Structure 1
Amino acid sequence: MGITTIKLSQLRLSPLNQRRVKPSAVEAMADDIAAHGLLQNLVAYEDEGLFYVFAGGRRYRGLKELAKRKRIKNSDTFPVEVRTKEEAIELSLAENFQREDMHPADSIRAFAALRDTGMDAEEIAARFGQAVSFVYKMLRLSALAPTLIDLIAKDQLSLEAARALTLTEDHDQQIKVCKAANGHAHTIRRMLTTEKVDTTSGAFLFVGRDAYEAKGGTITVDLFSQGAEGFADQPELVQELAEEKLDGIADEYRAIGWHEVRATLERPYDLYMKGSIYPATREPTEDEVARLAAIDAEIEAIAEAEGEDSDGIEPLSDERDTITEGMRAFNAEQVAVGGVALWVSHDGSLGKSFYRAKAEAKPKASSGEPQPLYSNSLFADLTRIKTQIVQEAVAADPALALDIMLDSLAGQLLHGAHSYQMALEVQAKTVATDVADELMATSDVRPVEEVMATRFASIPTEGRFDAIRAMTSDDKMALLAGLVAMTVDGTVFAGGSPGSRHHHFEQIARATGVDIAARWTAPIALFDKMRRAAMIDLLREECGASSAENCATIKKKGDLAVNVSGRLPGGWLPAPMKIGAFDQPEADPEDFDTDMDGDGIEDDDMERGEFADDEMA
């Protein structure tokens, strides 16, 4: 049909017009029409004697505004291109997209209308130059309750919140959750996914989408995601399949003969307490030796002829790695005493750890073998005292405290160390250094937490951040030093033995420059807690055999303790309290025991060695 002139009174805004949200600047449009006339015709379709405008809605509104101002009459005629009603939806959508950006609510309704005519997302996207993903998301949003789309049109519901609501197809639940969450997207998302499993979770990735869907599992696509990620609607099925797959892998290890096999969805919490074991390396066979030599010769020849970046070198290097890797395996002795822990990692891969599961029988100490000088509990107390003194020194040195904190953070975040391997654990936990009062009778060292509580008592609980912001730089550095000091820990707990954390602690202690002997002197109570034999051995080491023999005749242990205390040289310190005591991976057997796993591999995280049992003569 062509262009004809139609009275304003015969024109109506089409109910099929995809721009239902009233656009801005209608008054400006009216002013422009009044000044320059209607420069572009309207487009409408006829229905029962009236003409419904589906393209040029802003111009139509401008004309109605002029009629309201009495600038034109309803009987005035204007040029209108008349089309069929079937063309209205598509042309309205095209006209709006090519001009002013459509409101999201209009796009949702428009794409839904086109879909209802039989067009799919790809066709709609191709027709109007939109990304398929955008059209798909608009179509998903069209499944929202109509009242929610109305809220989008009124800008009372954000698109983020609307996308979250598509995680359920139940209109009543959508409306209920939207009200309960007050339109907050993340709250909506959390409420609708409480009983679902994220498809990016380790358990789901471990199972695999194909295996899950093969068992009848369904997935709700998340419009927040860029791809097809979403939520598995049957979490119990995900868990069942993951456990089934883990059990199958565990059975393979059991069939090999491992002493213990544990398979759990989460990484076992106690692995750090286990002594790790590693594959043994066997000698290569004659054929392997010959092949390795041939590979090396081929690589050298290719490098000389074609250069070291030649493509021919890579497959040879891969073959060499395969051969050498094949020479590394757990031997029968390791398997007989070893354990395997299996779990699902966060990225969906299989986590594995090999450890000693069967304890090695410890031979009983004969009377002729040297005995530890300090019992388990006393050894722990001595390292607590040392920790207090080092903490005090760190608290007095803000620059060192900053270095310690940076070292701990860098070790964990850059080098993959665990917090329990560091002398400083960066977390809000005060290290307990309490010891019996009699062991501190000769020292004026005060726990750092007591000093801090007194010095910074003025920092309020409410408004703490503002109070800290208002501090001077010196006070801030003092606060930093004290807080860092409170987390430094060099304690060797009763029954344990030093590992990498304690080696790190020695580095800090050395950096402080503190003189341990100047801050603490061994009280009589220390020797009261030692065995008689240990005190005699100590005298033999420090004062000579004759001194030890003379004191060995003292019958009362209390008198012996007094004599030992009086004979030791000034500035003497028990071995665990000396700076550098834990520098070496193997400790002095005369001072304390260490326990190696059956393969001679020391667990650097926490040894489970045993010190002498607490003994009183």
Structure 2
Amino acid sequence: MAIIHPKLSQLRLSPLNQRRAKPSAVEAMADDIEAHGLLQNLVAYEDDSLLWVFAGGRRYRELKTLVKRKGIRSSDTFPVELRTKEEAIELSLAENFQREDMHPADSIRAFAALRDTGMDAEDIAARFGQAVSFVYKMLRLSALAPALIDLIAKDQLSLEAARALTLTDDHDQQIKVCKAANGHAHTIRRMLTTEKVDTTSGVFLFVGHDAYEAKGGTITIDLFSQGAEGFADDPELVREIAEEKLDAIADEYRAIGWHEVRAGLDRPYDLYMKGSMYPATREPTEAEAERLTAIDAEMEAIAQAEGEDSERIDALSNERDAITEGLRAFNREQVAVGGVALWVAHDGTLGKSFYRAKAEPKPKAGSGEPQPLYSNSLVADLSRIKTRIVQEAVAADPALALDVLLDSLAGQLLHGAHSFQMTLEVQAKAVATDMPDELMATSDVRSVEDMMATRFAVVPTEGRFEAIRAMSHDDKMALLAGLVAMTVDGTVFAGGSPGQRHHHFEQIARASGVDIAARWSAPIGLFDKMRRAALIDLLRDEVGAPSAENCATIKKKTDLAVNVSERLPAHWLPAPMRIGAFDRAENEHEEFEADMDEDGSEQEGLADEEMA
């Protein structure tokens, strides 16, 4: 064994080298040799006056690359360890088997050391033949708490989890979250981004990077996600910009004259209850009709001459579609009674739906017929509040939640009941209980969904089954109660009427023992939504005729609402809110029967005020 220094021109790549696949990143490694020189000699045997390299083949290729770049010359000499041809196969195999990549922790520390010498990512990438993006990632990892890098070195923290921890620069928070998540990457990522908005989410795509950053928004880049996306640090700003954009679009529809325009970030929960409205189709103008006929003839001629897959047909087909689409539009009559709902879709596009918003006029009821106290929309709101309160009670009573679940399963699987007839629909769909602020001004009842998100935030998406299996009995029962409660639904939707499902709901409410009046009291906003005549009738029923007649002289409805609210007894509840209100759903003459007029209280209320 001897070290010699032959010219590069005397070397050849040996066919005995056991690594046959062409190595990758030769250009990058050539940069490294050019910067640092040949740090390890080649190994070769002599045959026919040439030296055949059987160990260090990649380094040999890198030297040849440098010759092409004119970084070195073929006449330059390099150290070569001389062996016999008989040793070549064994030594080549041994070298490749014994080669071991650097441990990730060592690589992270090495990149940090280079940064500390004053080199930036671009310098390091150029010197060592690495992609700049790769260097950035390694430097981000090197900014982790030293204790976490030690865990990587001990193979006690995966690189995936370490990458997730780079979403915060706070070392204390990194360590705290790592322990709380037990090193699970997905859980770490979720815990560090709960108060941020994913830049791939629909609402952020709707807003756009440029608009967000133009208003001073910042983004935490996630270099380890596909596409190098990240998280917007200011969710309130994202929401503000999105709402401004939606409002601007809504104003365009209002300017056209649509009867009702609703704009919100989420798709309206009650949209399915509204009758869809579709554009009317007009007859084409003379010019449009002539062009359509000409397009059809031209497409037929091309198909016969060139085949139906001709590219020329596509352009004509697109033109035809544009003309026919222009024939479909909402007319003035539709706009005058129609509604437009706008929201942000999951892919960041604008969601739109058109529906009939103004009901067709119907004859007024005779003076001798009793009028309902609460409009159908108000019954829907009150029953939704009641649902939220009962959900809260069920979530606090695991034994009751189990009974509710068993009742629903038994009713459907043993007795053939339909899911829509049950209070609990076993379809894993949370029942929305969002309410206008003015109706919740006197109550601190939170939605069960929010409470569950807080209490069970540590339940991971990946490994969820194992996490649930490891829970204590009390935690499992609390989880059961909360999840069951989220699906309990006693809402009477606007335009509907109580049915069997609502009767079941009353049984659950009664079994929960909840005191509705202790969790909610009627705010002034409730009385503002009621008709003038209904307020007088309510006062007559609850307080007496003298009080009702006294208040009937009040001209302004706002003043009347205040007087009624002050005169009602303590702990008073509107009829739909009382336990047992829907026990007799088949009785169509209860005082809380929904007013079938879709315009609710406002039209009738205006008429009453005009007559007063």
| Coarse TM-score class (shorter-chain normalised) | 0.3 to 0.5
Q: TM-score when scaled to structure 1?
A: 0.45
Larger radius of gyration: 1
